[in-house]
Structure 1
């Protein structure tokens, strides 16, 4: 099985994916740990071995590893983890033999984050036509790709947790609140917590809807909007702008890239 590792700014997600069975990239288990570039390969191995065991798997079931990271300092220890504990050099998204293999039609192609490129690959493999992928992570990103699978550009906005952290840090009397849909039906809050919840939640939905309207107008053709990331389902309940929710888009993209590397004759282990 494939161990797919998505190292983001906030969390590192590890997923065990069966890409050789008849289920078609079935995700058997997933775990996450806070991103810390100082965490050693040995620390990862102890933590991950225990979780594999709790899920009923031995470490030997992992026959290949692929990594996507937007935290360059984390890559070395993840490479060591793969080599030392899983018996081989990992694939790294964006590096041959796991190159992205798509046109990146922007001013600075090398600056495109691996997660956004992997999401685009997965989205194009799963859905036809022009696409917009909205990924709710540390930042909320909007990524546009055309019907050929070429990456055309997008938008980077502060993530909702980042926005809330900035608000609470800068305003001494404002409390920490949960990110959730407001309990009130209207948007006139009558206490501090309700006003903050309305501002964060409905303000964020207004931003999403407004930016998607502008992106669709600029594309000028029918577009499928795909949402991914942990908070996608929270917003889906109160807006109709998402056509599809793909909670595991990045992991699916990594599995697709690993399959492609294998099909071109490169060892996955």
Structure 2
């Protein structure tokens, strides 16, 4: 097993037995040195910066504001007519990323209406590409990387982006050097399988990696994917970035970290 893999705890899913501010200390105590989560916007960035500093943690990733999450929106990047909202979300994400010294942010693509025809799909694609070009330009000026992520349609029905080749095509069409793919092995396995070969084909465009057990999105120690081999392959490919643990623990988070001992994690 590789010993140099850098694991980041996803605090939106892990350590939820604690209030959000206390999850930073819990992650650090378990041996994590990086954290990610869906959204930071319920807290002032300076407040989060304090939790990071107190626990010697690096902020690895978070998402742009997704629109009205409670109303079912799952990102704005491909939504025609929401361009101004998307631009405002980029500015807000940059403000947080600068305070938190976070090098990368993820722009969720958003949902395509059920039964959409070819013309609607094309409109979403054109909007997506234009918005990503704008966001990549703004983030480049801030010294940050923009990510897009294929997400499986079982967990998120109607999501615009769900296949690795589709993501690779979008990256090429946008043509920005700081636009990368967030390669989530859990989503890839559900949609396409053949994860090792998908990773190899996509590797030059990969800017962040995430893991979870398949099919239930629990600890990556059982299920369809053998993560020790996948993480070893990731290392031999030359990946030096973070691997986000975006999974829902079966029980107490710390008790379920036995799988991570070779990577420096500890159980409690």
TM-score calculated relative to the size of structure 1: 0.29
Greater percentage in strand: 1
Structure possessing the higher radius of gyration over alpha carbons: 1
TM-score calculated relative to the size of structure 2: 0.29
Higher relative contact order (CA 8 A, sep 6+): 2
